[in-house]
Structure 1
Amino acid sequence: MSLIFEKQIKITEEYIDLNNHVNNVQYVKWVEEIAAEHWDSVKHKLDFPHDIWMLLDHHIQYKKQVYLGDIITIKTYPKSPEGIRQPRKVEFYCNDVLVVDSLTLWVFIDKNTQKIKRLDENWLSLL
């Protein structure tokens, strides 16, 4: 299985701001949404499907504007773990051009104890 998860979104009025392009805050929402969707699509393959991810750090770079009617492709994939932190890339493309680039750091939380749960550094190979 590929670790890359992607989806497309057509830009409608709800995403547009007063500058007539996609509102920057919307990209942050999409980063969280696609990470959750990706996790939901693979968690059944693991022994801890009920535990949750919590966002620690978020870096985003806006490279180009996207406008009403455009179609964007959002791609996400986890990178190699860094101790208890799990980096995740989220890339936004419009017409095959990278328009927004994001790197987030997450930690895994045991749903019952609400404490950070350390995953094996090779956990991605289980997917």
Structure 2
Amino acid sequence: MSDIFDVTIKVKAEHIDQLGHVNNVVYVQWMQDVATLHIEQLGLGLKEYIALKHAMVAVEHHVQYRKAAFEGEEVVLRTWLNDINALYSFRQYAFYRLSDQSVLFMGNTKWACVEIASGRPKRMSPTFSQAYQPMDASLNPYDFSMYDATLEPKESNS
């Protein structure tokens, strides 16, 4: 079973658009980045994908922008897996600003298993289906209380 996975980042100048806040495409890039870090932690990075000759690719994103983020802010990028079947895994995201304890962004991605050589759909191997297990249902992925006002994570189970 996989759990909640967090990465804390600092918003950089290159993330900011002409309106002075994080550009919407940056949030999608952050989705990709945190998902990649999570799968690497689960033992299924690019090296393993190539060895297994199949990979997970994004086929559908849903995003909800709730509040703007600005340069210099610390943001927690959180992801978790919430469902899986033979061909697809379903990943959720919540991005959280530490300074005012606000959820800035929520989203989800449907990932498909494909054969690398052909790009055709492929049933997940046992390696994939064992690693891509949904988060424990007793966890609340929107609970960011493990972070305090000092911007340092408290002890957590993620």
TM-score where L is the length of structure 1:
0.83
- 2:4 aligned residue: 4
Distance in 1, Cα, partners of 2:58 & 2:2: 23
Contact 2:2 2:81 in 1 (8 A): no
Which amino acid is 2:14 matched to? E
Aligned runs of 1:43-58 on 2, under 5 Å?
A: 43=43, 49-50=49-50, 51-58=54-61
Which ranges of structure 2 fall in alignment gaps of 5 or more residues?
134-158
Q: 1:69 aligned to 59, 68, 72, which one? A: 72
Taking only the aligned residue pairs, the percentage that are identical comes to: 27
Distance in 2, Cα, partners of 1:42 & 1:21: 32
TM-score where L is the length of structure 2:
0.68
- 2:123 aligned residue: 118
- 2:30 aligned residue: 30
Shift in alpha-carbon separation, 1:108–1:122, aligned structure 2, 3 A: closer
User: Root-mean-square deviation (CA), in Å?
Assistant: 2.4
Superposition deviation, residue 106 in structure 1 = 0.5
Distance in 2, Cα, partners of 1:114 & 1:14: 32
Which ranges of structure 1 fall in alignment gaps of 5 or more residues?
none
- 1:93 aligned residue: 96
Match of 2:9, SS state, is strand
CA deviations over 1:60-96 (Å, ceiling 9, x no partner): 0000011111110001111111552211001100023
- Greater alpha carbon shift after TM alignment, 50-59 vs 1-10: 1-10
- Greater alpha carbon shift after TM alignment, 106-115 vs 29-38: 106-115
In the alignment of these two chains, the number of paired residues is 123
Contact 1:43 1:49 in 2 (8 A): no
